[in-house]
Amino acid sequence: MDYQRHALARAVDHVLTVEDVIIHKLIAWRLRDQDDVRSIIEAGVALNNEYLNHWITEWELADRWSDFG
């Protein structure tokens, strides 16, 4: 356990969660972004819907998100 804490503390790169990737792609809304969101959904990735819905509401992206229904 001690090693894991040190390894994480030394990490240089930060990676977005899948929910944050979706939100960024809904904001950008290029065709490629729409395809990426569709692919994420089709892959059946577990999503934190509470987090996702919060930011979709905050950014007023509900119309775009509803396209993936």
Domains in the chain: boundaries = 15-66
Q: What is the mean pLDDT of the chain?
A: 92
- CA atoms of 39 and 45, how far apart (whole Å): 10
Q: Is the dihedral of CA 26, 30, 36, 38 positive or negative?
A: positive
CB-based contacts of 56: which residues, under 8 Å, 6+ apart? 23, 26, 62, 65
Is 11's pLDDT higher than 80?
A: no
Q: Which residue has the tokens 């390894």?
A: 7
Q: Is the pTM of this model over 0.85?
A: no
Asked if 27 contacts 62 with a C-beta cutoff of 8 angstroms, the reply is: no
pLDDT digits (tens, 9 = 90+) for 26-54: 999 999 999 999 999 999 999 999 999 99
Is 1's pLDDT higher than 70?
A: no
CB-based contacts of 38: which residues, under 8 Å, 6+ apart? 68
